[in-house]
Structure 1
Amino acid sequence: MKATIVTVGDEILIGQIVDTNSSFIAKSLDKIGIGVYEMLSITDDKQHILSTLSSLQNTVDVVIVTGGLGPTKDDITKKTFCDYFDDTLVVDEKVLAHVTQLIEGFFKRPITQINKDQALVPSRCEVLFNQVGTAPGMWMEKENTVFISLPGVPFEMKHLIENAVIPKLITKFERPYIVHKTILTYGVGESLLAERIEHWEDNLPEFIKLAYLPSPGRVRLRLSARGADENSLHEGIREQIEKLQLIISDCIVGFDDGETIEVVLGKLLSEKKMTIATAESCTGGKIASVITSVPGSSSYFKGSVVSYATEVKETVLGVPSAVIEKHSVVSAPVAEAMALQAQKIFNADYAIATTGNAGPDKGESEAEIGTVFIAVATPKGVFSEEFNFGQPREKVIDRAVIKGLEIIYKEITKNL
């Protein structure tokens, strides 16, 4: 089973909007065993759309097109569908009644001909009724390929995918099972990680594939299994993860895409009824932002001081000016003092502090650009580590955030 996702719209091609539809559709198809062969973004041009549909005919099993179903003249997907299938547009009375109710009943204005034209559909299509919008979806088949046209508005597209498209695809096709499991690792780069697990990777069963998904400070390892027996796929992946944990248990912090370091850390703090605070300089409050992005974080996050300026480190956090003068504002003693003061101010079990030169200039310290000190105050004391995250500025900040969360997570788990 193979599918191609096609987004229609110049606004995507010029970068005016970001295509989130393709990602949602791909995940939805993957869950029911339909793999995405490719994703295409094409312009609002009749010949381009026609040639795209023609090139996909009998190449893939399913083509899902989003966009171009609006009421304005630049929305041409519906008419182009008619041309491709040598069909004509007719009024769908159910859609017309729905559009009329929306315009006259909800928006309280007279319906126009442009609004009524939303109810026009190819005569031979199966209408996918759009309960949350005016543009219906369309399901048409030609030889060995199913063509599905959906509105480009994300919440309308999602409604139709979940309530119309996926149920119909499940009924129409016999599909293999696809099982994914993602292992979240921190603190080891992609190349070093690959070296450590090379033997394990080389001996994976043929039905299980491994993918490396690196990002600053972390690498996700995705195991994918495909086959006819869902239980055996789950069992096969479980066995491989058990073997993997014996090799890299020191850098595994969680499983599945939703288990980011901040989520895992939050679960740990909640379970142990512990609290945390931050004192941030070069990261500008981003550690606090990441921690509080997790629902329920109010139960363990106490607060933050963003002491970007040196005077704030002194007046708000209470870092002694003598420490700053002796060691400079970017130093281990200052980072440790910041962490201890945050722990005290917020009465928290743990506190993270950062101070560094993110660039592009050195600022008030002579430390090299990219240098960051991360300190952690614990119930037993305080410690710090020095890093150089290089450049550019954004990379320094992002890596400092991830490394800070990694350090605090490992410190807490070490003491359990």
Structure 2
Amino acid sequence: MSAPPTATRSTETLHDLAGDVIRLLRAANQTVGVAESLTAGLVMSALTSVPGASAAFRGGVVSYATPLKETLLGVDAELIAREGVIHPDVAAQMAEGARRATTPTATSLEEEEAVTTTTTTTTTTTWGIGTTGVAGPDKQDGKPAGTVYIGIASPTGTKGLGPFMFPGSRERVREATVMEALARLREALVDAAAANGEKAG
């Protein structure tokens, strides 16, 4: 079994990544919502540091405490009881919850999408990011510090990515998670644009 991937993005800055994500979202007339646990708002901070972010960034939820993942984001309680919160399915459900939580007046994503597919302005939040993991220094749910999962959700599907293993201090783990989350969203945006026959931003 191969070792979990680690990120090596030495020449690319967080601002570069966030700027690319906002540019791609704006070019596609799409939006993003975020649900964060270990990163505690750092993904949202990175995105909103970009001029013009308000055209694409909807908002988000910091669900640091486990019960908030259930009550605010709709993460399955049985999943958490069985696997803990450091799990790819939890990250995926957090990303889906981010889309729901940042979609105005929607009772469900399916209902909102059905209403907006015939309009030029879509009110459904298009993309969701979820981050969950162990920043350290101690283990959590039996997982060592540095273990991270990232969820990416869109109208066409949801993925729980990881485990990623980020070395270093608590702060370095959190920073690496933000970089990886934005890089993975950027890849998904480029892929989606290509699938639709569009030129990415």
Residue equivalent to 2:151: 375
Equivalent residues in 2 for 1:3-22, closer than 5 Å: none
Structure 1 position 286 matched with structure 2 position 42: yes
Match of 1:350 in 2: 127
Match of 1:219 in 2: 11
Residues 125-171 of structure 1, C-alpha deviation per residue, up to 9 Å, x if partnerless?
A: xxxxxxxxxxxxxxxxxxxxxxxxxxxxxxxxxxxxxxxxxxxxxxx
Q: Find out whether 1:404 has 2:181 as its counterpart.
A: yes
What does residue range 330-341 of structure 1 map to in structure 2 within 5 Å?
330-341=86-97
Aligned positions, number: 166
Cα drift, residue 391 of structure 1: 2.3
Q: In structure 2, do the counterparts of structure 1 residues 342 and 188 end up closer, same or farther at CA, with 3 Å as the change threshold?
A: closer
Query: How far apart are the structure 2 equivalents of 1:260 and 1:266?
Result: 10
The reply on whether 1:325 has 2:81 as its aligned counterpart is yes
Q: Are 1:327 and 1:333, in contact at CA under 8 Å, matched by a contact in 2?
A: no
Counterpart amino acid of 1:319? V
**Equivalent residues of 1:371, 1:390 under 8 A apart:** no
Q: Which residue of 2 aligns with 1:314?
A: 70
Q: What does the per-residue CA deviation read over 1:277-336, in whole Å, with 9 as the maximum and x for residues that have no partner?
A: 100001011000000011111111011100000011111112121110111111011111
Q: Give the equivalent residue in structure 1 for 2:191.
A: 414
Moved over 2 A (4+): none
Q: Distance in 2 between matches of 1:326 and 1:308?
A: 19
**Partner in structure 2 of residue 276 of structure 1:** 32
Distance 2:15 2:50 in 1: 11
Q: Between Structure 1 and Structure 2, which shows a larger proportion of strand residues?
A: 1
1:371 and 1:338 map into 2 onto residues whose CA distance is 17
**Residues 211-236 of structure 1: per-residue CA shift (max 9 Å, x gap):** xxxxxx3415xxxxxxxxxxxxxxxx
After TM superposition, the structure 1 = structure 2 runs for residues 195-210 of structure 1, keeping only pairs within 5 Å, are none
Do the aligned partners of 2:60 and 2:101 also contact (CA within 8 Å) in 1? no
Specify every segment of 5 or more residues in structure 1 that has no aligned partner in the other structure, as ranges. 1-186, 190-216, 221-256
Higher relative contact order (CA 8 A, sep 6+): 2
Equivalent position SS for 2:40: coil
Shift of 1:342: 1.0
The answer to whether 1:359 aligns with 2:136 is yes
CA contact (8 A) 1:369 1:391 kept: no
Residues 311 and 259 (structure 1), Cα distance of their counterparts in 2 relative to 1, 3 Å cut: closer
Map 1:241-280; keep pairs closer than 5 Å: 260-280=16-36
User: What CA deviation, in whole Å up to 9, does each residue of 1:79-100 have, x standing for no partner?
Assistant: xxxxxxxxxxxxxxxxxxxxxx
Aligned-residue identity in percent: 36
Aligned to 2:121: none
Q: What are structure 2's unaligned runs of at least 5 residues?
A: 1-5, 104-124, 194-201
Alpha-carbon distance in 1 for matches of 2:174, 2:64: 13
Deviation at 1:349, TM superposition (A): 0.4
Q: In the alignment, what sits opposite 1:78?
A: none
Higher CA-based Rg: 1
Q: 1:267, CA displacement in angstroms?
A: 1.0
Match of 2:11, SS state, is strand
Q: Structure 1: which amino acid aligns with 2:11?
A: V
Q: Which residue of the partner structure matches residue 58 of structure 1?
A: none
Over aligned residues, Cα RMSD in angstroms? 1.8
Q: Is the 8 A contact 1:376 1:382 kept in 2?
A: yes
The Cα of 1:361 is off from its aligned counterpart by 1.4
> Counterparts in 2 of 1:9-88, with a 5 A limit?
none
Cα contact 1:277–1:346 (8 A) shared by 2: yes
Residues 259 and 401 (structure 1), Cα distance of their counterparts in 2 relative to 1, 3 Å cut: closer
Letter in 2 for 1:343: R
